[in-house]
């Protein structure tokens, strides 16, 4: 998953996946509609990337209810947190390297 040269995480190459992770790093739990609103993406597009992140074990999904309506919330996992901070560290190293 990691690029051996730069240490960048391939999963976060995509701007929507990176956006989801950025939001979940600073918010304990966020539901689908709030993610959609903040990232300005379509349902299908967001859903695909969420599945991808879940398959990688970076986020966990909690299906709950508000009244009768389903309310699916997303949270970052320990592995996701580590992958994200590693990715940021790699980005920072790259900048240092360039300078």
Partner 1 sequence: MSEQNQHGHSTTSSRGAETLQEISDIKRIMERSSRFISLSGLSGIAAGVCALVGAYVANNILKDYYVELNRGAASTYEDFTVLKIKLVILAIVILLAALILAFVFTWRRARQNHLPFWDLTARKLLWNVLLPLIAGGLFVLAMLQYDEWHFVAPACLVFYGLALVNGSKYTLSDVRYLGYSEIILGLISTQFIHAGLYFWAIGFGVLHIIYGTIMWWKYERVNSQ
Q: Which residues bind partner 1 (CB under 8 A)?
A: 13, 15, 18-19, 22-23, 25-27, 30, 34, 37-39, 88, 91-92, 94-95, 98-99
Q: Is residue 17 within 8 Å of 99, Cβ to Cβ?
A: no
Q: In what order do the strands lie in the sheet with 69-76?
A: 30-31, 69-76, 59-66
Residue burial 28-65, b: 16+ Cβ < 10 Å; e: rest: eebbbeebeeebebeeeebeebbebbeebebbbeeeee
CB of 23 to partner 1, least distance (A): 4
CB of 8 to partner 1, least distance (A): 9
Q: Between 13 and 43, name the residue whose CB sits nearer to partner 1.
A: 13
Q: Between 19 and 80, name the residue whose CB sits nearer to partner 1.
A: 19
Q: Between 25 and 47, name the residue whose CB sits nearer to partner 1.
A: 25
């Amino acid at each position: 998953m990691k690029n051996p040269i730069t240490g960048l995480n391939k999963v976060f190459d995509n701007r929507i996946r990176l956006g989801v992770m950025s939001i979940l790093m600073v918010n304990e739990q966020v539901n689908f509609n709030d993610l959609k609103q903040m990232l300005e993406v379509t349902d299908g597009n967001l859903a695909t990337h969420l599945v991808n992140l879940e398959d990688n074990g970076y986020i966990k999904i909690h299906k709950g209810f508000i009244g009768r309506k389903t309310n699916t919330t997303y949270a970052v996992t320990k592995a996701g947190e580590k992958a994200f901070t590693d990715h940021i560290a790699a980005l920072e190293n790259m900048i240092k390297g360039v300078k």
